[in-house]
Structure 1
Amino acid sequence: MSFIEKISHLQLDILKEIGNIGAGNAATSLSAILDRKIDMKVPNVRIVSFDEMMEMAGGAEHVVASVFLRIEGDASGSMFFILSLPLAQYLIRQMAGDATFSIDSTPHAELALSCLQELGNILSGSYLSSLADFTRLNLYPSVPSLSIDMVGATISYGLLELSQQSDTAIVIDTVLVEDQLVADSIDGHFFLLPDPEFFDIIFAALGVAPDD
């Protein structure tokens, strides 16, 4: 049985707390870029299969915007951040100052992809910084890989890159709320795909025993 399959409720709670700190840091950065109040929270952290990952993102044929990156340093793994197209379009419009941008128009403008990459840098950097601060480990992200494609193709590409040895992932639910549009809060998902020793290293650094 892999570590991820026997992870405890305490360990999931620790990951949730780290996620909330990262979300708060990301919200601060986004608020500065968009010049408006943005809040982000992590209501839940859970273990899911790869099939469940695709269903949570709308199904294998559902088109989404995604950011994929490798976690490197003292512990390694991979992350997907998946955004619905309406949320991606909204954030690109705000970041680029272009209210007419349509994510349905192809090919996608270089500025739009640049905005998505910056968004990926902010989000991944915020989460990894909070994890590194907690554990005192050296963790950093690779350059994000961007795509606007069907969920199945996006995740399959990432898994081929990984040569995954497990069929499960940690999902960090993320709720983004703009202060002026509280009724229109939109969910996104971080999917954390750890390499085999990832959690052993992380929780050992935190002093949490495997069977806690």
Structure 2
Amino acid sequence: MLVYLFDHMEEFQFDVLREVGNIGAGNAATALSKLLEKPVDMMVPQVKLIPFEQIPDIVGGAEEVVIAVFLRVVGDAPGNLFFLISRESAVQLLSKVVGSQELMKALENDSLDLTELQVSALQEMGNILAGSYLSSLADFTQLSMSPTVPSLAIDMAGAILSYGLIQFGEMGEHAVLIDTTFHDGEDQVEGHFFLIPDPESFGKIFAALGVPLE
């Protein structure tokens, strides 16, 4: 059923998903600008529907060490949500919020210890990004979709996804990928936003977007 859906989606239907991403990026840019106290621009280069098992490949492979903010989506269309960025991108973000020269040295030496302040800052930024995209999707679909308190992990991408399976239970087989690039005039940071609806949620979301399952 899902394979049929993806094979028969028209370009305008992907445009709806891109619009969700663009509105979410705009909301996230506004929120991050307030947090960083400087202008932030965000772009959504692409939106894709991908099989769950391809997620590690998007971020450099299953053994690539990444920083992930992940949470559970509750409401009318429950699911799981991950925001993954590289360690280097995390350093760039944190240096603007908490002045993390110590973290930069730690990452260069493959030491992954974070202070409580650094963890809190990354969680807040991840929560802003995830909440912005989720709010955009909820507005488009008119479905109730709320995030739980985010968790943070630093590990290989494959291990993070495996932990997510244990933490949140069985996930759906496909994910909505929204690639995000944001910059503040000095640095450019790329991140990957993955929404993995529960199997029974896919039909609700896409029907609400005008793409009913057949």
With structure 1 as the length reference, what TM-score do the two structures score? Answer: 0.88
- Percent of aligned pairs sharing the same letter: 49
Amino acid at match of 1:164: M
User: Aligned ranges for residues 135-174 of structure 1 at < 5 Å?
Assistant: 135-160=141-166, 161-166=168-173, 168-174=174-180
Counterpart in the other structure of 1:8: 9
Amino acid at match of 2:132: S
Counterpart in the other structure of 1:132: 138
For residue 7 of structure 1, report the CA deviation from its aligned partner.
Answer: 6.1
For residue 6 of structure 1, report the CA deviation from its aligned partner.
Answer: 4.6
Pairwise CA RMSD: 2.1
Q: Which runs of 5+ in 1 are unaligned?
A: none
1:74 to 68, 73, 76: 76
Residues matched between the structures, number: 207
Name the CA shift for 1:31/1:25 in 2 (closer, same or farther; >3 Å).
Answer: same
Name the CA shift for 1:209/1:150 in 2 (closer, same or farther; >3 Å).
Answer: closer
Counterpart in the other structure of 1:91: 93
Counterpart in the other structure of 1:179: 185
Distance 1:100 1:107 in 2: 10
1:119 to 119, 125, 134: 125
Distance 2:54 2:28 in 1: 26
For residue 29 of structure 1, report the CA deviation from its aligned partner.
Answer: 0.8
CA contact (8 A) 2:103 2:114 kept: no
| SS, match of residue 103 in structure 2 | coil
For residue 120 of structure 1, report the CA deviation from its aligned partner.
Answer: 1.5
For residue 198 of structure 1, report the CA deviation from its aligned partner.
Answer: 2.0
Q: Which runs of 5+ in 2 are unaligned?
A: none
Distance 1:174 1:140 in 2: 21
Amino acid at match of 1:52: Q
CA-to-aligned-CA distance 1:59-84 (integer Å, 9 cap, x gap): 11111100111111111111111001
CA contact (8 A) 1:36 1:179 kept: no
